[in-house]
Structure 1
Amino acid sequence: MSPQAITTIGFDADDTLWQNEQFFRFTEQQFGEMLADYAEAEHISKHLLEVEKRNLGQYGFGIKGFTLSMIETAIEITDGRVPAATIEKILSVGREMLSHPVETLPHVHDTLEALAGDYRLVLITKGDLFDQERKLAQSGLGDFFAQVEIVSDKSATTYRRIFHHATGGPERAVMVGNSLKSDIVPAIAAGSWGVYVPHPLTWAYEHVEPPHEAPRFREIPDLSQLIPLIETFD
């Protein structure tokens, strides 16, 4: 094994291994329809995003925090006049999100299966603990991962901690994901490779400019291109 050989590959979960953002977009559309008598859909969406950002420190990432932020937004948009029936609908659509089926993305199973024998695979995801565990179980992908990390946020410190136990440390690890802000930029800052796999739907909070100047940044159109790319790192 060469001194630079990759030993560990980290994978994001939501919108990297399975669909996720589409359920948030659909629910946000329903939410806008609930409040259509009070404001335009675009204004409601912008207000919701600001409330979500404001609440991340208290609620964290995930569906439960999103549901609470919808309730808070409804109260603010209506100046406290939101009907109890609307609050009930918001809670209902939130519960529906927590039971949506898991739809894996193309090439995921075959790619993980091919990599699992040669590399240590680690799932690194943020969000609600119970919901992420549910999705992983229903995906049928759990056996491919030697380690599962469900974290409150993703930073360079997070990746250094997780990849510390990898053979060779973060420098011989790769992080794969659809979020530049959460998956790629901090992993590169930790000393790892960052492989960006764009998804058509990405939450506005996660948007940052691609770090094209970083020597360890790579972008591929889908996971079918990951294996030949990883081989160039060895």
Structure 2
Amino acid sequence: MIQMVGFDGDDTLWRSQEFYDQAQLDFEAIIARYIDLDVAGLRATLLATERGNLAQYGYGVKGMILSMVEAAIDLTGGRIESRDIRTIMDMGKDLLVHPVELLPGIAQAVEDVSRRYRVVLITKGDLFHQERKVAQCGLTAFQRIEIVSEKDVGTYRRLLQEFEVQPEAFAMVGNSMKSDIAPVVELGGWGVYMPYHATWEHELLPEYDGGGRVVEVDGADRIGEALDRMTSAR
């Protein structure tokens, strides 16, 4: 039987990626004043810069903004003006204080699930930013809240040991196959995949099916049903 259910934060409980996507468009508008974006391959350059910086900056707004500044300097050959650097920095500050907006139906879904299972929140990113989101989201059913720097097999193994729950009795709800689902399934757990309309390219994991241990849902109101399917499949 499933004993514990984990929930991801960004784009599972609350909106996130579209704000980053808008920052990406604003960044492109700035850089377009200096170079031809089609020729420069800005998006590929920025993604490569962000990936290269993950080990130093981690995930989240601060890492993205620092990577934008680095990519802007490289792409423009150092010609970018200080006022545009300031604009990029201000974009980051705006993102850090953006109000938390819960996804439709998720508050009720978390409450319903908590009546049947132990529930925990496992989210990754900048500590201060994630703590702020958790404090503002208004969700109080979680028995544990874990903010981690990475979501991989090692992280989930450590957390499940701390939670004193076996992997086969744990299900993770999230929008990222790469971070929320695949590592848990590799350990022998279960995944409820709730895709979001916008996903960062780094989080994509094409053609992953989870070997029958993943149930995809099209909304928060289907999470409970997915957990029931997992229980009946055992």
- Let me know the Cα RMSD of the aligned residues: 1.3
Which residue type is aligned with residue 7 of structure 1?
Q
Which residue type is aligned with residue 32 of structure 1?
E
Gaps of 5+ in 2: none
Alignment of 1:219-234 (within 5 A): 219-234=216-231
Counterpart of 1:87? 85
CA distance in 1, matches of 2:100, 2:94: 13
CA distance in 2, matches of 1:228, 1:83: 54
Query: Alpha-carbon deviations, 1:181-226, whole Å to 9, x = none?
Result: 1111111011110111000000011111243251212111111111
Kept in 2, the 8 Å contact 1:16–1:178? The answer is yes
Gaps of 5+ in 1: none
Alignment of 1:110-129 (within 5 A): 110-129=108-127
Kept in 1, the 8 Å contact 2:14–2:103? The answer is yes
CA distance in 1, matches of 2:21, 2:206: 22
Kept in 2, the 8 Å contact 1:166–1:173? The answer is no
Query: Alpha-carbon deviations, 1:30-70, whole Å to 9, x = none?
Result: 11111112234452222111100110010000000001001
Alignment of 1:1-234 (within 5 A): 5-41=1-37, 43-141=41-139, 143-166=140-163, 168-212=165-209, 214-234=211-231
Q: Give the secondary-structure state (helix, strand or coil) at the position aligned to 2:212.
A: coil
CA distance in 1, matches of 2:126, 2:177: 20
What is the TM-score normalised by the length of structure 2? 0.94
Structure with greater helix share of residues: 2
How many percent of aligned residue pairs carry the same amino acid?
Answer: 42
Q: 1:138 to 1:76 in 2, by over 3 A?
A: same
